């Protein structure tokens, strides 16, 4: 069984440590800033075909609105909110 998801393009502010954009600190969705207080989980998707590019996923906890899953596509460097 395959679960269908929607991706919403978002702007993300990241922590820059030993590498650029090491992990997300906040994101903007519908003109609202969501501050991230914790990264609950993270995982990596290898590129299996052009429709599924390599990506980093982050399950994050925000200050006011609960948890979300964010996706960073490595090659395009685009962030998405996974719905």
Average pLDDT over residues 20-24: 80
Write the pLDDT tens digit of every residue in 58-75. 999 999 889 999 999 999
Structural domain including 51 reads 7-77
Averaged pLDDT score across all residues of the chain: 90
* More confidently predicted of 3 and 43: 43
Please report whether residue 83 resides in a domain: no
Residue 16 lies in a domain: yes
Q: Report the number of distinct structural domains present in the chain.
A: 1
Give CA–CA dist 83/68, Å, rounded. Answer: 8
* pLDDT for the residue 1: 47
């Amino acid at each position: 069984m395959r679960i269908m998801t929607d991706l919403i393009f978002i702007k993300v502010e990241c922590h820059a440590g030993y590498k650029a954009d090491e992990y997300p600190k906040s994101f903007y969705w519908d003109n609202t800033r969501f501050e991230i207080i914790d990264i609950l989980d993270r995982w990596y998707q290898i590129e299996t075909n052009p429709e599924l590019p390599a990506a980093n996923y982050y399950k994050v906890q925000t200050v006011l609105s609960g948890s979300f899953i964010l996706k960073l596509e490595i090659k395009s460097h685009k962030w998405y909110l996974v719905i």
